[in-house]
Amino acid sequence: MLKLSPITSGLELQLLGALPIDPADLREIDALWQQALAGRPTLFDGPMLTVREIAPDRLLLAEISYRHVVAAQASAAIRERLGLRGLAVSGILNCPDGLVFGRRGGMVTSGTGRWELVPSGGVTPPKPDLARQVLLELEEEIGLSAAQVRVAAPVALIEQPGLLDVALPLSTDLSASEIKSLHRDRGSAEYDELFIGDLPNGELVPESRAIIEAGLAKKQ
């Protein structure tokens, strides 16, 4: 079940430290991670954050790793017992030719073949910064540098089992052809194709669909 909540004021991130986890739960998380690796051996277990509390103007966070997020998405029992909810950013990139969407490639853990607003990715410790993270994801995924993009304040929280996304609008003066060229030359395999315009002809990931339906993908 997905829930989108508009952000009407600033959003502060507060880091509480590492999340304490019982050894039995750690063993179950490790087993679920090994199952995920069996299907996708290129997965990387990097540092991430879990949301411990959501307030109107702040998020309280604890440190985890990507394997915890994978386990939370695979097991409702683990997710509910530990309250695991990874923190991620969802960018809403506008250019003069329209919105920028990426079709998720075969290397991703979920949503393969679906379209999403660009970019997206997990927020990492030790100094979580939403704007910095969305710019890092943008450069890694499609090759745009921070100097080529403007970032606005967060506009929404998107809650779903095991994950909380923060939506941030971005804008660039680059044309569709320039963006596609950068993606081809400098981007990762996160997206196997870009679409730039109103809406791609294909299924959207739930987060992007919610952003579109809420009318938040407006030109900045």
Residue 116 belongs to a domain with what CATH number?
3.90.79.10
Residues 120 and 198 occupy one common structural domain: yes
Q: Minimum mean pLDDT among 42-46, 131-135, 162-166: which range?
A: 42-46
Q: Residues 176-197: pLDDT tens digits? A: 999 999 999 999 988 999 999 9
Residues 60 and 112 in one domain: no
What residues make up the domain containing 30? 3-84
- Whether residues 193 and 112 share a domain: the answer is yes
Cα separation, 73 vs 33, whole angstroms: 11
Confidence of residue 110 (pLDDT cuts 50, 70, 90): low
Look at residues 68, 84, 100 and tell me which one is the last residue of a structural domain. 84
Q: Does the residue 219 lie in any domain?
A: no
Same domain, 179 and 98: yes
Secondary structure of the chain as H, E, C letters: CCEEEECCCCCEEEEEEECCCCHHHHHHHHHHHHHHHHHCCCCCCCEEEEEEEEECCEEEEEEEEHHHHHHHHHCHHHHHHHCCCEEEEEEEEEECCEEEEEEECCCCCCCCCCEEECCEEECCCCCCCHHHHHHHHHHHHHCCCHHHCEECCCCEEEEECCEEEEEEEEECCCCHHHHHHHHHHHCCCCEEEEEEECCCCCCECHHHHHHHHCCCCCCC
- 79 and 92 in a single domain? The answer is no
Shared domain check, 146 and 50: no
Tell me the per-residue pLDDT of 132-150, one tens digit each, with 9 for 90 and over: 999 999 999 999 999 999 9
pLDDT value of residue 212: 96
Do 110 and 127 belong to one domain?
yes
The answer on 144 and 48 residing in a single domain is: no
Residue 98: pLDDT band with limits 50, 70, 90: very high
Q: What is the mean pLDDT of residues 165-174?
A: 97
Question: Of the ranges 56-60, 69-73, 133-137, which one carries the lowest mean pLDDT score?
Answer: 69-73
Task: Please indicate, yes or no, whether the overall pTM of this predicted structure exceeds 0.95.
Answer: no
Specify the pairing of strand 47-55 against strand 58-65. Answer: antiparallel
Q: Specify whether 134 is located in the same domain as 198.
A: yes
Question: In the listed set 63, 84, 105, which residue is the last one of a domain according to the structure?
Answer: 84
Query: What total number of domains does the chain contain?
Result: 2
Residues 27 and 110 in one domain: no
- Residue that is last in its domain, among 51, 69, 84: 84
Residue 220 within any structural domain of the chain: no
Does residue 218 sit within a domain? no
